[in-house]
Amino acid sequence: MNRVLVTGGAGFLGSHLCDRLVERGDDVLCVDNFFTGSKRNVAHLLNHPYFELMRHDVTFPLYVEVDRIFNLACPASPIHYQLDPVQTTKTSVHGAINVLGLAKRVKARILQASTSEVYGDPEVHPQPEEYWGRVNPIGIRSCYDEGKRCAETLFFDYHRQHHLQIKVVRIFNTYGPRMHPADGRVVSNFICQALAGKDLTIYGDGSQSRSFCYVDDLIDGMLQMMDTRVEFTGPVNLGNSSEFTMLELAEQVLSIVGGPSKLCFKPLPQDDPRQRQPDIALAEKELGWSPKVGLTDGLRETVAYFRRVLDL
């Protein structure tokens, strides 16, 4: 039986990952400081004999015995990671040092949940892993982008210097049940607004694009990446390559939810990337992975979830 540590395990992606690990028979230690995650996301696992929840902040050392580590701890939505930007950088950088130190001591294989944000506002489209990115080092998104870039650096230096078995995935916009309703991300915003009969807030003119991956597909990719041959470190992009503008997304949400909502236009936030689409050729080749759930089906599941939790 594998003993698996999931940092950030009570968050959106982390809780789905814990579900899948427990389901397949792993012994799971979920560590979280509940900054953006919640016990509710893993409440259904608490009585499982092979699931354990620990309140802990990854910026502090952690001494446990495990075989595998998934490092997801870090607020992911712009409004959350900008609330306390210094803590965001510390979580990415000190957090990475601590989990890497842990992996080194116990000889665990370790996976980093990196992000498409390492590409910044890209001049290359779609983004392949070889692209080095265009990131503002001093802007309001930098605490997250540069923190995640430094974490990647640390992963590769621990790999080169201490021969750690590392895996790095760059996750593109992912959505689904258990997203935080108030995290300000576009999918949760649009769905919650539509369900409440409010107008959907389009930032800028809505022509900027993103590519949205359903959570189940993403977790498949992460699990497959952890089990790839030892020499394959990544970084590897994980995401859905179907690209939509925010106007197209709003139309889809409105057609699923119905109701009286219209669109209202708000200013575009600083450093908001114009476009983003993963090149997933490497994931297809190395993991045999590609996403299966289309936007309409994924949005339906997510709408059903928010209807339930918001009682709308």
Tell me the catalytic residues. 144
- What is the three-class DSSP state of 206? coil
Size of the site for ligand UDP (CB under 6 A): 24
Distance CA 237, CA 232 (A): 13
194 is a contact residue toward ligand UDP (CB under 6 A): no
CB of 148 to ligand NAD, least distance (A): 6
174 is a contact residue toward ligand UDP (CB under 6 A): no
Q: Which of 216, 214, 208 is nearest to 240 (CA)?
A: 214
91 is a contact residue toward ligand UDP (CB under 6 A): no
Q: Which is nearer to ligand NAD, 174 or 261 (CB)?
A: 174
298 is a contact residue toward ligand NAD (CB under 6 A): no
Residue span binding ligand NAD (CB under 6 A) among the ranges 21-29, 70-78, 123-131, 299-307: 70-78
Strands (E) across the chain are located at: 3-7, 27-32, 51-55, 68-71, 109-115, 166-171, 174-175, 200-203, 209-211, 213-214, 236-238, 243-245, 263-266
92 is a contact residue toward ligand UDP (CB under 6 A): no
269 is a contact residue toward ligand UDP (CB under 6 A): yes
Q: In one letter, which amino acid is 46?
A: L
Q: Which of 33, 88, 142, 208 binds ligand UDP (CB under 6 A)?
A: 208
**Site residues (CB under 6 A) for ligand UDP, limited to 134-173:** 173
Checking DSSP bridges between strand 200-203 and strand 174-175, what pairing results, if any? unpaired
CB of 302 to ligand NAD, least distance (A): 12
Q: Go through 155-187 and write b for each residue having 16 or more CB atoms within 10 A of its CB, e for each that does not.
A: bbebbeeeebbbbbbbbbbbbbbbbbeebebbb
Q: Which residues bind ligand UDP (CB under 6 A)?
A: 61-63, 77-78, 97-98, 101-102, 104-105, 173, 185-186, 189, 201-203, 208, 210, 246, 268-269, 272
